[in-house]
Amino acid sequence: MATVAFIGLGNMGYPMAGHLLRAGHAVTVYNRTAAKAERWVREHGGARAESPAAAAAGAEFVFTCVGNDDDLREVVSGPRGVLTALAAGSVVVDHTTTSASVARELAPLCAARGVGFVDAPVSGGQAGAQNGVLTVMCGGEHEHFSRAEPVIAAFARSIVLIGPSGAGQLTKMVNQVCIAGVLQGLAEGLVFGQRAGLDMEKVIAVISKGAAQSWQMDNRAATMCRGEYDFGFAVDWMRKDLGIVLDESRRNGAPLPVTTLIDGYYAELQRQGRNRADTSSLVEILRAPSKL
């Protein structure tokens, strides 16, 4: 069992840290809003620290799951960041979805102190975090990955090293681009079918057996038809991820015409105040086509 610090107790981090504790690791948590860390300790046990550095003191592994690139820079390399406290031989595992650039920027800063850095964004959502069955897409050195892997296993079903630093984040971006396209096609298909007067339950039952099948169809078509979005992956989070994707595409030259269009649709959903609605609310853009 390992001594670990967990930085960031949001919707994802809160249950992930709990799984680490239940797996037998010694867990010290830090959260920007202290009340949430206090609640976590009351619920789980473990310890709470007043800064990322204090949480990391003596830790073999630091897990981060914060908001964005700048939040990550602050908790890793900031004045009270974990790097000020970590001993050589420890490993930072970052579960935030960030740009690939920040992973490539922090990995050498960590390496200069003998600390490993693995970018490790997850998929599987809040339910995956709660049930400890996340998918973890990793970038970094094999040595650091293989040390962290058995610890990550406390909350993950699938943990894969894709390539060097940044490769985990880039894989997550591919994931989000694929999801955006699937959802848009599904949304257009559903609205078309509803306008045509079809019994969509029957339609989905039959077409989900074939080449149109997708996870989104299996898990979101029914709620999209009913207009239910109070669950899942929020529009705000998707918009953040697509921003990272489009920014990276300007660097690598990949043309993303439909992803760009869909990013605009998500911007419109935000303007409509649907910030916390599930990403599948994309279909609502088609139901108010004056907004296209």
Active site residues: 172
Residue 80 has which token pair? 């009270």
Residues, the chain, total? 292
Residue 128 has which token pair? 């995956």
List binders of a second copy among 218-277 (CB under 8 A). 219, 233, 245, 248-249, 252-259, 261-262
CB 167 within 8 A of CB 139: yes
Question: Interface with a second copy includes 215 (CB under 8 A)?
Answer: yes
CB 116 within 8 A of CB 147: yes
Enumerate residues 6+ apart whose C-beta is below 8 A from 134: 16, 122, 123, 124, 128, 155, 156, 157, 158
User: Which sign, positive or negative, has the C-alpha torsion 257, 261, 263, 264?
Assistant: positive
Q: Which of 84, 101, 123, 131 binds a second copy (CB under 8 A)?
A: 123
Q: Which of 3, 84, 101, 175 binds a second copy (CB under 8 A)?
A: 175
Contact segment (CB under 8 A) with a second copy among 56-64, 73-81, 143-151, 193-201 equals 193-201
Nearer residue to a second copy within complex by CB, 109 or 207: 207
Question: Interface with a second copy includes 127 (CB under 8 A)?
Answer: no
Residue identified by tokens 């010290």 is 28
Q: Which of 24, 43, 150, 202 binds a second copy (CB under 8 A)?
A: 202
The strand pair at 91-94 and 61-64 is best described as: parallel
Nearer residue to a second copy within complex by CB, 87 or 127: 127
**Binding string, residues 56-95; x marks residues near a second copy by CB under 8 A:** ----------------------------------------
Q: Which of 92, 102, 118, 217 binds a second copy (CB under 8 A)?
A: 217
Residue 18 has which token pair? 């709990």
Rounded Cα gap, residues 3 and 61, in angstroms: 7
Q: How many residues make contact with a second copy (CB under 8 A)?
A: 73
